[in-house]
Structure 1
């Protein structure tokens, strides 16, 4: 089946759908075209599909310029976590505000978050946003501010470890989130821990019983708990994004605010690539794309006759093409610049190895994909007959 031709891109911001333009003139904006596709718009009013890499850094003694490498591989931006000095080399960049460093921090289990129930949190967030954002707020190359960079939401329930509600219930009493969590949870059960234990389907003699489970790294895994954990996490996130987005805009109203899926206070959602299948509305950026992972390497699917490397690259190409074709997606960021210390090529995730040598097993294909990303997003592409 032949795909229909791509729709002509709007030649002016005024041609985008009324009421969808977010951001200020002279900086990066985002808007929806007449065909329903979302686009970033650069400071020159041109449609822009973000192709970034996270954590870009130079290597001491290396002859290679990271920004020159990015351009050669078809990338057009620095993702969050880039070495600050690289921001002066002309590429657009995504800034990051680490709000876990603002005010009282919760660091327990997989949680790395500010205590958003602390009355001092809004003031601490505003002060931190000023320190981070003000030095860069006049830069046209700044795409926007990612407000939840580096946070840990402790939501890996399938790993059997404590998730956010259990962790907050296990904090020391000096944390405002500890008292808020118990009040929030018990309110649904008449204020009685016996009612809570029945709803969760487990014995709980007192509050200390939850702390003991957490100390032993045993996650509560009942359906009743999961419902309350989802409600608590949603309330925690609502409070976080409301304050964080307002703090950034107070100091830098000209640039976009980026943040997690479901956050109503951000301009563009910055989400995990695995969430794209259920995030079609837009505008979204896949903030951690890589084709080094189980679903790209497994033997399941129609391409079992290929080697593992061939399978990884074939599935990776298809995933990146599908990403670009989604109407709500306005860009992506490759997950990491350099291989991790425990990773082994060709199944390491960096575009450069620890030695700073180019990871050609990734860069050659990603460069070819990047060359087509703008065109793929502009118009529909036919489904592949070899979908894994």
Structure 2
């Protein structure tokens, strides 16, 4: 009799443990399926796709919405963080150096892992070239507004932070700046696109 009591308690313990494990794992699996299901349901109209195969492109879904398309041909919802940077802004530098020393690779690996754990999947503008093409999609800022300082507008001898967009110097400046920044990443499969400026 005592043997059966011990056995029944053991079985009850095992069942309780299984229920606890399943209940703790279930929300995560549900969250994962919910997070994945919207993208899995997106169907892109092939005739709307713009861009070169094996690179990031855009295309319109059957529901009429435009989507990024990743190099593997799957819909991509861009969730990027700007200014992922080893040495900027200044108050941040001592903390980073204290934790990672002078090892940008250690910073990159830890930061990418942290971003992915928070469900971010890309690097935004003002992320330096050292972090481009290191395993995470990224965007590039061009800053055309500063491409030709001599062509900035003036009011009462005060220089404004706006370019004279009709000045040939500015047009030449943005052309040169675009070539300088775009050429090195022209073959990058992880480049999502460009921002031209911020808060003009």
Change beyond 3 A, Cα 1:118–1:48: same
User: Gaps (5+ residues) in structure 1?
Assistant: 154-388
Q: Distance in 2 between matches of 1:27 and 1:55?
A: 23
Deviations 1:220-249 (A, max 9, x none): xxxxxxxxxxxxxxxxxxxxxxxxxxxxxx
Alignment of 1:225-304 (within 5 A): none
1:24 aligns with 2:52: yes
Give the whole-Å Cα distance in 1 for the aligned partners of 2:117 and 2:45: 31
Aligned with 1:132: secondary structure?
helix
Q: Does 1:8 align with 2:37?
A: no
What per-residue deviation string (whole Å, max 9, x for no partner) do you get for residues 125-173 of structure 1? 111111111111111100011112x3x43xxxxxxxxxxxxxxxxxxxx
Question: Is residue 2:173 matched to residue 1:144?
Answer: no
User: Once the 2 structures are TM-superposed, how far is the Cα of residue 67 of structure 1 from its aligned partner?
Assistant: 1.6
Q: In the alignment, does 2:93 pair up with 1:44?
A: no
Structure index of larger Rg: 2
Deviations 1:336-385 (A, max 9, x none): xxxxxxxxxxxxxxxxxxxxxxxxxxxxxxxxxxxxxxxxxxxxxxxxxx
In the TM superposition, what are the counterparts of 1:102-121 in structure 2 within 5 Å? 102-103=147-148, 104-106=151-153, 112-121=161-170
Contact 1:26 1:140 in 2 (8 A): yes
Instruction: Report the aligned-residue RMSD.
Output: 2.6
2:69 pairs with 1:53: no
Q: What secondary structure does 2:41 align onto?
A: coil
Deviation of the 1:37 alpha carbon: 2.5
Tell me how far apart the structure 2 counterparts of residues 110 and 36 of structure 1 sit (CA, whole Å): 45
The structure with higher relative contact order (CA 8 Å, sep 6+) is: 1
Q: Please identify which structure carries the higher helix content.
A: 2
Deviations 1:13-40 (A, max 9, x none): xx5163x322222211111111122211
Q: Tell me how far apart the structure 1 counterparts of residues 188 and 173 of structure 2 sit (CA, whole Å).
A: 24
Describe the SS at the equivalent of 2:120: coil
CA distance in 2, matches of 1:52, 1:102: 25
1:265-287 Cα deviation digits (max 9, x unpaired): xxxxxxxxxxxxxxxxxxxxxxx
CA apart distance, 1:107: 7.8
Q: 1:85 aligns with which of 119, 122, 130?
A: 130
Structure 1 residues 107 and 31, CA, compared in 2 at 3 Å: closer, same or farther? Answer: farther
- Work out the number of aligned pairs and report it: 142
TM-score calculated relative to the size of structure 1: 0.34
Compared with structure 1, are the counterparts of its residues 116 and 17 closer, same or farther at alpha carbon in structure 2 (3 Å cutoff)?
same
Distance between the aligned counterparts of 2:153 and 2:113, measured in 1?
Answer: 39
Residue 79 of structure 2: SS of its match in structure 1?
strand
Contact between 1:17 and 1:34, CA under 8 Å: does it hold in 2? no
